Structure 1
Amino acid sequence: MSDQLKKGLEGVLVAESSLSYIDGDAGKLVYRGYDIEDLARNASFEEVLYLLWNGELPTEEQLAEFSDGLSEEQAIDQSVIDTLAALAEADERPMAALRTGVSMLSATEPEPDADPEDLDAARRKGRRIVAKIPTILGAYDRLRRGEEPLDPDPSLSYAGNFLYMLTGEQPTDVAEETFDMALTLHADHGLNASTFTAMVIGSTYADVYSSLTGGVGALSGPLHGGANQDVIETLLELDESGQDPLEWVKEQTEQGRRIPGWGHRVYNVKDPRARILQAKLEDLSEESGETKWLDYTSAIETYLTEEKNLPEKGIAPNVDYYSGAVYYQLGIPIDMYTPIFAMARCGGWLAHVLEYQEDNRLIRPRGRYVGAEDRTVTPIDER
């Protein structure tokens, strides 16, 4: 057994997976053998969920049955709505509200006593959670704005229904397509912190409510899920300054500031998901006539990708750099960006838990002890 310490499990292989593959040098992301750009442009998020959970893309008949199953599970119990209302009254953070909401769903689970090793039952439970997350988020945002939650519309796609429950309006085709693609781009990304957290919990055969709640908790940390919010807040700062974006970014970098949305633990070149969202930001800008967010991101990218301006080699835009601007253009509240990340990634968490449990072994790493030795207890009256 190796005693080599790997902080953060850097470079450590802990499992095999057929779900997603990342080539950080080539800027490539693959789900079950399909390039992410091919999937994002030619398959719906529902198709991608089916692919992750079942290994193959669905036929038309399979997709219709699968989508109908998701739609049938979208409603949430009044007890969950009441709890969300109390959290909204307390001004709770949306990610914390989502964590509580997902955990609460187990109270109304129709298969509470299913064998924890029954992977089909776990898949059904996971599908219910994935179906209900948009409803939880839409309800919470409306409740905190003093508005009544909207019932899910089964005639809409997963992406379109979320935008409807959030805004109360049917999304445009461009908005729905853009958001659907964004969900696909965030659905899976190897053994990141939240996915690994869900797998660790799943390896104990805790139920999927525990695993997916744990995933939400891990994603809520600013080192994992909050960068897209940082990006738009930075762009808003630029907008409020009234400065030319090139002059602004030059001034910021000369002061040693790192621009959020740049650099990735895995990618050494531009994140392939960023390329796709950049194109969708162009579509949204053309439809709305509002181009400044595209102008800002493009100007900053142009400046930073000139070699002499890079803070270090291997720094390039990641998915958060463009997703922040895309969500803002869609009218989504800024503090909902990370919960949306969770909504997309939940399907990936479930897929990894189910895959790992097919050949399960309790995940139990070691830690190297560096504390004191050979101590003896002094009687309490002598300390």
Structure 2
Amino acid sequence: MSEFSNWTHLAEKAAEIDNDLFAKYDVKRGLRNADHTGVLVGLSNIGSVSGVKKVDGVNVPAEGKLTYRGIDIKDLAEGYLTEKRVGYEETVYLLLFGKLPTRDELERFSEYMKEQRKLPEYFTKDIILSFRGKDIMNMLARSVLALYTTDDNADDTSTENVLRQSISLIAKFPEIIAHAFHGMRYHYMNKSLVIRHPHPKLSHAENFLYLLKGANRYTPLEVEILDLALVLHAEHEGGNNSSFTVHVVSSSQTDTYSAIAAAIGSLKGPLHGGANSEVMAMMDNIKRNVKDWSNEKEIEEYLAKILRKEAYDRSGKIYGMGHAVYTLSDPRAVVLKKKAREVAIEKDRLHEFNLYDAIERLAPKVFHEIKGEKVIAPNVDFYSGFVYCMLDIPVAVYTPMFAMARIAGWCAHRLEELISAKRIIRPAYKTLAEEVSYIPLSERG
């Protein structure tokens, strides 16, 4: 055994805890209760997520509901879509300030966001392109930390300053992500380097498509569905891993850049932010192995193979189906699916959309037959990857786009933690190690 292999063995042994002890000491692993609901660790006025209802003290599956500042996400989306306008800027305003803006307030706020888009001079060359990387999430986190050095009041945690930093970062994320992607293509894929300046006349969503793809390379419907995706991903209650990370880190009174970089690190994890790319890989496998996409029996049989660990990655998971909170439905998936169908028609990919629709209908039935009573439904990731694919957005950009949307919620939670909580988050861990005597080095075997 090599020395490092021995170290690895020692490290694993030192880190191992008997699984039965978690139950013995009633440890809330993952801050989850026995019924899989989250342990109550805070209060919030920002977002609300629900997927069950209490009946005689028992959790019963219910249609999913997501609200931003008390407003149902379905109503929020329908409101601005009916008026034929974008909604992300309005959503940011709502999350940060707790109310819907008037027309004048929205116009002034949108203009201010546009003014904050531009990165500092030489930042793209010195930070994004020179220190190249193969993962855009890491490049995004590094860029956020680098912006700390350009801020004369970086450590000021007053509400006014944190709000200024928050809006600035929200506005800058599209340019950082687009430039990081183009730098990665240039350095690692031998593609031409194309760097565009932010467009002062475009909305947040359209500006990102312009930075990523260039002018006249996207349609109004593409802007509409990308904006919708950003709205649907902007917030998801304080208990999701990355937003809770913001609460934990912010409770130490650290700076905004450190808190947001920590959230990016959380979102990068495949159990949090990478689900839609997992869905896309699974769907590619299904498309290759199901010969007739209109044959529901054939689809059912292949889904059964996946659940029995006989097909795809042998994990036994149908990616994009099921959620930690939602049961009967994920409201984000319901809203996104409707618009996704319109894009599929525009892109002549309705046959693929119909395959997704069939899997959505058939997977819960097959899951019930093989794995039991748990109720599952498609989550937002089931359709978001397909949407991004139809927009010709590379997979490497999927999770960074999640960050580009969710930073609005992160910043709202940071403000709430700094203003209202005012106590460093410090949960307890029970130590299992028994006390032992120190052994002098000369006496160790």
TM beyond 0.5: yes
Range with greater deviation from structure 2 (43-52 or 294-303): 294-303
Is 1:278 aligned to residue 315 of structure 2? Answer: no
Q: Distance in 1 between matches of 2:72 and 2:301?
A: 35
Q: Which amino acid aligns with 1:174?
A: L
1:303 and 1:309 in contact (8 A); partners too: no
1:235 corresponds to: 283
Of 236, 246, 263, which residue of structure 2 is paired with 1:189?
A: 236
2:188 corresponds to: none
2:387 corresponds to: 326
Of 195, 209, 212, which residue of structure 1 is paired with 2:260?
A: 212
Q: Distance in 2 between matches of 1:237 and 1:81?
A: 39
1:173 corresponds to: 220
Deviations 1:234-288 (A, max 9, x none): 1122233462344255224233331100111111111010011111110101112
2:167 corresponds to: 127
2:363 corresponds to: 304
Range with greater deviation from structure 2 (125-134 or 98-107): 98-107
2:41 corresponds to: 14
1:274 and 1:322 in contact (8 A); partners too: yes
Tell me: CA distance 1:367–1:237, structure 2 relative to 1, closer, same or farther (3 Å).
same
Is 1:53 aligned to residue 96 of structure 2? Answer: yes
Q: Distance in 2 between matches of 1:305 and 1:339?
A: 30
Range with greater deviation from structure 2 (138-147 or 98-107): 138-147
Aligned length: 376
Deviations 1:345-383 (A, max 9, x none): 01100101101211211111110111122x111111111
Range with greater deviation from structure 2 (163-172 or 51-60): 163-172
Q: Distance in 2 between matches of 1:46 and 1:316?
A: 30
2:290 and 2:302 in contact (8 A); partners too: no
Give, in angstroms, the shift of residue 310 of structure 1.
6.5
Of 285, 304, 311, which residue of structure 2 is paired with 1:253?
A: 304
Of 405, 410, 417, which residue of structure 2 is paired with 1:344?
A: 405
Structure 1: 4+ residue segments shifted above 4 A? 307-310
Q: Which amino acid aligns with 2:301?
A: K
Is 1:140 aligned to residue 140 of structure 2? Answer: no
2:425 corresponds to: 363
Tell me: CA distance 1:58–1:235, structure 2 relative to 1, closer, same or farther (3 Å).
same
Give, in angstroms, the shift of residue 113 of structure 1.
5.4
1:103 and 1:210 in contact (8 A); partners too: yes
SS at match of 2:196: coil
Range with greater deviation from structure 2 (118-127 or 239-248): 239-248
Structure having the higher Rg = 2
Q: Which amino acid aligns with 2:412?
A: A
Structure 2 gap segments, 5+ residues each: 1-24, 33-37, 53-62, 81-86, 186-191, 310-315
2:155 and 2:254 in contact (8 A); partners too: no
Among all aligned residue pairs of Structure 1 and Structure 2, give the percentage whose two residues are the same amino acid.
Answer: 38
Range with greater deviation from structure 2 (102-111 or 335-344): 102-111
2:154 and 2:255 in contact (8 A); partners too: no
Q: Distance in 2 between matches of 1:210 and 1:113?
A: 10
Range with greater deviation from structure 2 (350-359 or 238-247): 238-247
TM-score (norm 2): 0.81
TM-score (norm 1): 0.94
1:80 and 1:104 in contact (8 A); partners too: no
Q: Distance in 2 between matches of 1:141 and 1:70?
A: 22
